[in-house]
Copies of this chain bind each other. A is one copy, B any other.
């Protein structure tokens, strides 16, 4: 508990919060280094490393050629030999060129070596649809990493969580995907100056409610929250859960909530088929079937490559209006 009001009421952006976590960890542990395109003197396309080059120098903030596979593979070997790499992909879409290294090497390394090698690697990148970025700069590929054993997958939705979750990622010995939605980067929130960590696999109950449970991921937490606000005016009471990490996935918290509300909707910008909503639905069905008063529903981004033109782009992302409607439909069942 902090004693200075100045500290506890400080509001900073998501990006600043995550950067603070990174800088704290780098100050404490000289084995941490960051690689990426333009993350050195430039400070990162999304300001993920602004100011750090001056503090930690070129060996620890390492600009790279455009070789996503190459630097992921390099960082794999680095992690195997005792350093702790952070890979900054800028847009997470670029991670796809490194999937072979990630799935066949990074995710399997501890297992193949029967735990004698560790794999402390943080893989971060911006996800999500916004600003007519079009289909090569709008992806949210986390379901792929949830499917594969060996990754932890973090989807912070606010500044406070960003710092705490990134701290956990940087202290651990496992590969962690830290995925930052473009639309939350500039959102400000209360962030303590002192270091703190948030454990993986513990969902946050963002708001309590009684009539239905809504699980929202990443940028959708804010949108669902807005939808809940508007429904609250009609006296509709919704419980909103932010899993914060989707691997591990805290289904227990969802089950407890559904036990109370009897209804569940999962709202996720990422694709529906074999997505996180499917997994939550399947687990809740299997384990909480008797608590369900209505079929579990999912609201996802449209299952299509992301179009460029603003009216098309808007049509593929769940918006507050659609969320409100989906909740109404769920309550009506």
Chain A interface (Cβ < 8 Å from any Cβ of B): 68-69, 93-94, 96-100, 103-104, 107-108, 111-112, 135-136, 139, 141, 143-144, 146-150, 247, 249, 271, 273-279, 281-282, 285-287, 289, 292, 294-298, 303-305, 307
Contact = CB atoms under 8 A, between A and B. Distances in A.
B297 A286 contact: yes
Contact of A274 (B96, B107, B139, B279): B279
Contact of A275 (B98, B99, B274, B297): B274
A265 to B, nearest CB: 10
A157 B296 CA distance: 31
Contacts of A136: 104
25 contacts: A96-B104, A103-B141, A108-B305, A111-B305, A143-B274, A144-B147, A144-B274, A146-B274, A147-B271, A147-B274, A149-B304, A247-B273, A273-B279, A274-B274, A275-B279, A278-B281, A278-B282, A282-B285, A282-B296, A285-B296, A286-B295, A286-B296, A286-B298, A287-B295, A289-B295
A147 B297 CA distance: 17
A100 B111 contact: no
Contacts of A271: 147-149
Nearest to A248: B273
Contacts of A139: 103
Contacts of A148: 271
Contacts of A97: 69, 99-100
Contact of A285 (B99, B103, B144, B295): B295
Contacts of A98: 100
Nearest 7 Cβ contacts at the A-B interface: A289-B295, A97-B100, A99-B99, A281-B282, A96-B100, A278-B278, A278-B282
Contact of A150 (B274, B287, B295, B305): B305
A305 B107 contact: yes
A303 B149 contact: yes
B281 A285 contact: yes
